[in-house]
Amino acid sequence: MVLLKMKFNQQRRVRLAQGLWLLSWLAVMCGAFIFCLGVYLKTELLRRNEVMENTEIHVVPNILMLVGLASIGTNWVATRVCQDSLDASRFPRWKVLLLAWFVVAALLCCLLLAVVVLSYVLQGRLEESLKVGLRNGIRFYKDTDVPGRCFQKETIDRLQMEFRCCGNNNFKDWFEVQWVSGRFLDYTAQEVKDRIRSNVDGRYLLDGVPFSCCNPASPRPCLQYHLTDNRAHFNYDYLSEDLNLYSRGCRQALTDYYMGLMNSTGPGVLSVILIQISVILSLRYLQTAVEGAMALENPEGDSEGYILEKGVKETFEEVKVKVLTMIKLAQVDPEGVPDEAEAEKAADTAAEKAASPTPAS
């Protein structure tokens, strides 16, 4: 049973080759788009690498960049095949390479589909990575004179201002850590002594937040300190006051940002998959139509093009038998290497058995 068979004359083959040539170049540009998309996403992830515990989410841009480059090369090859399909003397050289081309092109489609799935599956891992990374970033905020952490304060401040967020979950996370460096504390002051003594770990804790938590859109001047003391500020109620701080935590802000980026790539990636599948099917029709005309020893005559020469099951069985036969031939026989003609005969016999219909019981 020939799957999806179509009739082709010389004019239709030429039109198919011309249309596929244009489609292949479109696929090349789509490959460049996928690569640039991966580079952009990778860059954005690396910018916030200091507030991430692990780099598992980097698998998404890594696959995009790999598939983008491979897609550019693969579809460029398809454009050359289209050109050579119009020349009966040049097309036969592609006969062996086209099998590998179809395998690679199908693999690229599978990888692109995996990117779409991973973009949703890894959301939980991304959120957990940000949770731990931001918690450590807030804890090391004060270590401006510690090697390896001296830029942590600047990173967190810029992050909170850019994403309009405060703390890990919310602004109260700053109440639980000492975020003021000991270099700027007067340990002879009574207030500093009282705060350190009141804490079991001997830390200087404040009911305050860094300046980067302040919301410039608030009509009230920024309140950074004594946020839980109603008497410290005029006309102020900690429980009911609409604080002039960012209410959203940075973990949620970053998760929404990165998931928005990856989710927005979904429609684009799916469109590229459809274009790549169109190239695969069109090239298969062109290959079989040209080879059919050459088999009739009339390159300009009518021929048939198809996707599969046999049914899906029969084709799968035939490919499996050929692969197994190749594996057996590659193994070293202790009694001697089998004759090549006998091996080919055995492979053809096995393929005929796999393709023959099973008799009804």
The lowest-confidence range among 68-77, 139-148, 308-317, 339-348 is 339-348
pLDDT at 344: 55
Note if the pTM is more than 0.85: no
Residue 53 DSSP one-character state: S
* Residue 350, pLDDT above cutoff 60: no
Say how many Å lie between the first and final Cα of the chain, rounded.
22
Phi/psi for 222 (5° steps) reads -60, 130
Query: Of the candidates 81, 74, 82, 80, which has an alpha carbon nearest to the alpha carbon of residue 105?
Result: 74
CA distance 282 to 17: 9
Query: Of the candidates 78, 38, 22, 44, which has an alpha carbon nearest to the alpha carbon of residue 268?
Result: 38
Percent of the chain residues topping a pLDDT of 70: 87
Averaged pLDDT of the chain: 83
CA distance 310 to 354: 11
Query: Of the candidates 69, 120, 108, which has an alpha carbon nearest to the alpha carbon of residue 261?
Result: 120
pLDDT at 348: 60
CA distance 112 to 115: 5
| Domain spans of the chain, in order of start | 3-137+261-318
pLDDT at 336: 46
Q: What is the pLDDT of residues 78-120, one digit of tens each?
A: 999 998 888 777 888 888 788 889 989 999 999 999 998 988 8
Give the pair of three-digit tokens for residue 51: 């507030």
Query: Of the candidates 273, 263, 270, 268, which has an alpha carbon nearest to the alpha carbon of residue 119?
Result: 263
pLDDT at 40: 94
